[in-house]
Amino acid sequence: MKCPACQNEVNVDSVYCPKCGEKLEQAAEGAPAATSPPQPAAEDGGQSGSQQPAGEAAQQTASERIMERAREGGAQTAGDAPAAGWSKGGYSPKALNFRFLATCLVTAALLAVVVWLWWGESGWWKWAGYASIATIAALWIWYLCVRIYRVGTIKYELTAHQFYHEEGIFRRVRDVIEVIDIDDLKLERTLWDRVINGGVGTVVVQSADPSDPQLRLVGLANPDEVFQALDNARRKERVARGLKSV
């Protein structure tokens, strides 16, 4: 079997020509493959109308053909994108509901201890009460720090080809994962997430990226939508590049 563009001998089962990159299936559907080599040009250097397209196709390199197919695939992907869908988000404040309630309960218990200790007249009991008040202040400071860090800095963004994860205050870290490198996705919801935290969840991303083989997207207010958006983006990218979608 010969390539209709460059007349290179190729395997019958081949989809693309290894020399010029021409897709053999499309050529077979459009017109039958040529069985004879192209005729030599006329003495005056001109070319016939039937030979000129084949010559131009043969002169196009494999890299140019691959880039052209990539641009066509990107345009098709953009056209097939849903009108509405998840593309960016961050850590939801609802994910801290359980921590907030636990801090309130511990605060109430320590305040009860303070009142009971200060009810007596012994001096050293009052020092224990001061320690309880300091513990309460430390708990609320810690809760506020965790809330500011997670809600204010953890951000997620999904594009057609890449997924971005960013967090940090003094040291801002931005991780990038190619959508086509995503191997597996998993959605997790604990009992506290479903009952107390308003249905938030975590999406675990397993990828072939050596720097981030596993990435946990925590505190998602709409984990089902994020999971579906990542899965759709992965499938579209694999189909566009001719890979098997798993």
Helices first, then strands: H and E counts in the chain: 7, 7
Are residue 98 and residue 59 in the same domain, yes or no?
no
Residue after which a domain boundary falls, among 42, 62, 80? 80
Residue 218's CATH number: 2.30.29.30
Are residue 227 and residue 202 in the same domain, yes or no?
yes
Tell me, what's the pLDDT at 116? 82
Tell me, what's the pLDDT at 8? 74
Total number of domains constituting the chain: 2
pLDDT grade for 77, boundaries at 50, 70 and 90: very low
Are residue 224 and residue 201 in the same domain, yes or no?
yes
Are residue 69 and residue 117 in the same domain, yes or no?
no
pLDDT at 78 over 60: no
Are residue 169 and residue 61 in the same domain, yes or no?
no
Over range 42-65, report the average pLDDT.
Answer: 48
Question: Do the domain assignments include residue 17?
Answer: no
Tell me, what's the pLDDT at 123? 66
**Contact 51/39 with Cβ under 8 angstroms?**
yes
